[in-house]
């Protein structure tokens, strides 16, 4: 174990998906010697060669720098994790098929196989998003099988698109440690984690040291709050549509109150991705198991409001297309669940595109980064490389993911390729005035029609 709090450590990172790969390279950047363990051999080889299997701004540079330093390596065999002082568990916890609950198969399998190579004095650190109670259960397994080893829970709050900055400069550090969780271990988990994050701690990053249950809940509570904030403004958008009010001005006005804040008050198509939707559902499922389901029934409404926005978008498209989608040409700009990502998991944009197509429209989808994933998983959708190709002869253009290059389209020249200048701004991201001045009919969720 490190003698002083700046000494580099030997670390392993189990699971090199989005979270794990970024964590592993970032820890090497902080000076540690890191081995990333990834069971998918092709993925491990790709990362070892400096090729990033997903789109994340700034990550490829970080990965190459860490590989070049000689401090980062990847392997597929858990045996390579042997001897590390700290083992981070970063595997996925997707939604269970046909249920709300989280699927813990990967966390359990990773921990079980890690235990086989774990030594006394070593620390297992869970980073995956798990239902409250998981850490205590895993800590018992670790203690029973490897006396002298310990487990901590250290949730991650990184956002796709900002993953590198969020990992190296997080808003806060949260440690769920054994000493505050009724577990008796020889390892001082707080001290070890302070050594791992020495540079981040030295930056003055706020730190919360707590028990396992609180650490686990911080993560799901944070994502639930963010989802609630988005659905709140989208509920206001529904009311704005009913009253003729304007949700963007409403958000600006209430956002000036710094108790409320303007961030995460962008009304539109709502939230998607691999985290917010599944995390609020898993949280509800866990509350039910604990007999506290009433506390989270509001999250069901948060989920409902969110899903209704997608249906409303399809209705709005039908409305502007003279009440029929049959045979209409629709351009869909954006397929990723948000800009600066190629992630299409539970993407609101693709959900809308698919519904339009099922209802008889002729849909063309474009996205700067996500098309390979769309082609792989949504082969029924017609994909094209540029917004101009998507919009050729279109009866309506739908902006569904607010990539910068779409926000910056010149409505005048872009208008030359369409059949009818109708734009539906699913993210309230376009300069309405500019589009209207160029002769477009502009419609958006929660906005006044003029
Ligand atoms: C989210 C959280 O923001 C991270 O803090 C967390 O670590 C991560 O989940 C996780 O659990 O791993 P992420 O899924 O990358 O991060 O994306 P967000 O930036 O939170 O956006 C989520 C969705 O909400 C997107 O579809 C976005 O378009 C939508 N959104 C966001 C809105 O509809 N309106 C807004 O005002 C903001």
Same domain, 181 and 240: no
Which pLDDT score is estimated for 356?
98
Of 210, 237, 271, the residue that ends a domain is 210
Is 411 part of any domain? yes
Q: Per-residue pLDDT for 69 more than 70?
A: yes
With respect to residue 277, please indicate whether it lies within any of the assigned structural domains: yes
pLDDT at 2: 40
**Which residue, judged by its Cα, is nearest atom 24 of ligand 1?**
271
Q: Whose CA is nearest to atom 20 of ligand 1?
A: 159
Q: What pLDDT was estimated at residue 392?
A: 98
Q: Which pLDDT score, from 0 to 100, does residue 319 have?
A: 96
Residue 4 scores a pLDDT above 60: no
216-259 pLDDT, tens digit each: 999 999 999 999 999 999 999 999 999 999 999 999 999 999 99
Compute the radius of gyration of the chain from its Cα atoms: 24
Phi, psi of 65 (to 5 degrees): -60, -45
158 C-alpha to center of ligand 1: Å?
A: 10
pLDDT, residue 185, reads: 85
* Structural domain count of the chain: 2
pLDDT for the residue 3 = 44
351 CB near ligand 1 (under 6 Å): no
276 pocket-lining for ligand 1 (C-beta < 6 Å): yes
415 touches ligand 1 (CB under 6 Å)? no
Please tell me if the CB atom of residue 266 comes closer than 6 angstroms to any atom of ligand 1.
yes
Angle of CA points 259, 225, 315, to nearest 5°: 105
H-run or E-run covering 173: strand 173-176
Q: Does one domain contain both 147 and 72?
A: yes
- The dihedral sign for the CA sequence 162, 163, 167, 173: positive
- One domain for residues 193 and 262: no
For 259-313, what is each residue's pLDDT tens digit? 999 999 999 999 999 999 999 999 999 999 999 999 999 999 999 999 999 999 9
| Whether residues 400 and 341 fall in one domain | yes
CA of 391 to the centre of ligand 1 (A): 28
- Ligand 1 touching residue 129 (CB < 6 A): yes
CATH number, domain of 395, equals: 3.40.50.720
* Residue 168 shares a structural domain with residue 304: no
Q: Is 3 part of any domain?
A: no
pLDDT band, very low/low/confident/very high, at 6 (cuts 50, 70, 90): low
Catalytic residue, chosen from 16, 240, 275, 383, is: 275
Per-residue pLDDT of 7-24, as tens digits, reads 899 999 999 999 999 999
Residues 18 and 94 occupy one common structural domain: yes
**How remote is the CA of residue 276 from the centroid of ligand 1, in Å?**
7
CA 338 to ligand 1 center in whole angstroms: 8
Query: Is position 431 within any domain?
Result: yes
Residue 110 lies in a domain: yes
User: How many angstroms separate the alpha carbon of residue 159 from the centre of ligand 1?
Assistant: 7
Residue identifier of the C-alpha nearest atom 11 of ligand 1: 275
For residue 271, report the distance from its CA to the centre of ligand 1, in Å: 7
Residue 184 is predicted with a pLDDT of 82
Q: What are 397-438's pLDDT values in tens digits?
A: 999 999 999 999 999 999 999 999 999 999 999 999 999 999
Looking at 156, 182, 210, which one is the last position of a domain? Answer: 210
Best residue for ligand 1 mutational test, from 130, 164, 166, 223 (most atoms within 8 Å of Cβ): 223
72 pLDDT more than 70 = yes
Q: Is 337 in the pocket of ligand 1 (CB under 6 A)?
A: yes
Give the three-class secondary structure for 97. Answer: coil
**Max Cα-Cα span within the chain:** 73
Asked whether 199 and 30 are in contact (CB, 8 A), the reply is yes
Indicate whether 205 and 244 sit together in one domain. no
**218 domain-assigned:** no
The strands making up 362-366's β-sheet, listed across from edge to edge, are 382-383, 362-366, 329-333, 396-399, 422-425, 441-444
Active site residue 275: yes
CB distance 131 to ligand 1 below 6 Å: no
Residue 220 within a domain: no
What is the C-alpha to C-alpha distance for residues 93 and 449, in angstroms, rounded to an integer? Answer: 42
Q: What is the pLDDT of residues 316-353, one digit of tens each?
A: 999 999 999 999 999 999 999 999 999 999 999 999 99
Ligand 1, atom 29: closest residue by C-alpha: 271
User: Closest ligand 1 atom, CA of 341?
Assistant: 15
Q: For residue 37, how far is its CA from the centre of ligand 1 (angstroms)?
A: 27
Q: Residue for token digits 């206001």?
A: 236
Q: Specify whether 311 is located in the same domain as 384.
A: yes
Q: Last residue of a domain, which of 163, 181, 210?
A: 210
Q: Whose CA is nearest to atom 27 of ligand 1?
A: 271
The model's pLDDT over 94-124, given as tens digits with 9 standing for 90+, comes to: 999 999 999 999 999 999 999 999 999 999 9
Domain that residue 33 falls in: 10-210
Residue 230 covered by a domain: yes
Considering the domain architecture, whether residues 171 and 36 belong to the same structural domain is answered as yes
Q: Is residue 158 within 6 Å of ligand 1 at its C-beta?
A: yes
Using the structure block, give the residue that is written with the tokens 């590989």: 67
How far is Cα 351 from Cα 176, in angstroms, rounded to an integer? 37
Cα–Cα distances (Å) from 88 to 128, 143, 429, in that order, read 9, 17, 38
Q: Whose CA is nearest to atom 34 of ligand 1?
A: 266
Is residue 252 domain-shared with residue 280, that is, in the same domain?
A: yes
Co-location of 203 and 276 in the same domain = no
Q: For the segment 171-224, what is each residue's pLDDT rounded down to a tens digit?
A: 999 999 999 998 888 899 999 999 999 999 999 999 999 999 999 999 999 999
Q: Please check whether residues 266 and 401 belong to one and the same domain.
A: yes
pLDDT-based confidence at residue 5 (cuts at 50, 70, 90): low
**Ligand 1 neighbour 401 (Cβ under 6 A):** no
């Amino acid at each position: 174990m490190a003698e002083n709090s700046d000494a580099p450590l030997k670390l392993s990172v189990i699971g090199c998906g989005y979270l794990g790969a970024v964590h592993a390279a970032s820890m090497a950047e902080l000076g540690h010697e890191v081995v990333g363990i990834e069971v998918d051999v092709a993925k491990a080889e790709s990362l070892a060669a400096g090729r990033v299997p997903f789109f994340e701004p700034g990550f490829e540079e970080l990965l190459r720098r860490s590989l070049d330093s000689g401090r980062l390596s990847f392997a597929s065999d858990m045996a390579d994790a042997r001897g590390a002082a700290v083992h981070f568990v970063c595997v996925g916890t997707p939604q269970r098929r046909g249920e709300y609950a989280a699927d813990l198969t990967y966390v359990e399998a990773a921990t079980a196989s890690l235990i086989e190579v774990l030594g006394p004095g070593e620390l297992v650190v869970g980073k995956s998003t798990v239902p409250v109670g998981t850490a205590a259960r895993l800590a018992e397994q670790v203690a029973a099988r490897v006396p002298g080893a310990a487990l901590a829970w250290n949730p991650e709050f990184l956002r796709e698109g900002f993953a590198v900055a969020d990992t190296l400069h997080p808003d806060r550090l949260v440690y769920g440690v054994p000493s505050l969780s009724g577990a008796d271990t020889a390892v001082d988990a707080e001290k070890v984690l302070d050594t791992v994050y020495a540079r981040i701690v030295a930056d003055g990053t706020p730190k919360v040291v707590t028990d396992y249950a609180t650490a686990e809940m911080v993560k799901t509570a944070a994502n639930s709050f963010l989802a609630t904030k988005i659905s709140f403004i989208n509920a206001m958008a529904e009311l704005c549509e009913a009253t003729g009010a304007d949700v963007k001005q409403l958000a600006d006005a209430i956002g000036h109150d710094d108790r409320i804040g303007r961030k995460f008050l962008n009304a539109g198509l709502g939230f998607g991705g691999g985290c917010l939707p599944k995390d609020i559902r898993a949280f509800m499922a866990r509350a039910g198991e604990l007999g506290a389901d009433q506390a989270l029934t509001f999250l069901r409404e948060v989920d409902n409001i969110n899903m209704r926005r997608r249906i409303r978008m399809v209705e709005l498209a039908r409305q502007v297309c003279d009440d029929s989608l049959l045979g209409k040409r629709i351009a869909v700009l954006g397929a990723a669940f948000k800009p600066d990502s190629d992630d299409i998991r539970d993407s609101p944009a693709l959900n809308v595109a698919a519904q339009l197509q099922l209802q008889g429209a002729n849909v063309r989808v474009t996205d700067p980064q996500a098309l390979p994933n769309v082609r792989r998983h949504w082969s029924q959708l017609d994909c094209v490389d540029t917004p101009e190709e998507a919009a050729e002869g279109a009866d309506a253009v739908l902006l569904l993911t607010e990539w910068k290059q779409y926000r910056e389209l010149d409505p005048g020249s872009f208008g030359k390729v369409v059949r009818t200048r109708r734009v539906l701004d699913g993210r309230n991201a376009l300069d309405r005035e500019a589009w209207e001045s160029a002769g477009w009919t502009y419609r958006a969720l929660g906005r006044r029609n003029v």
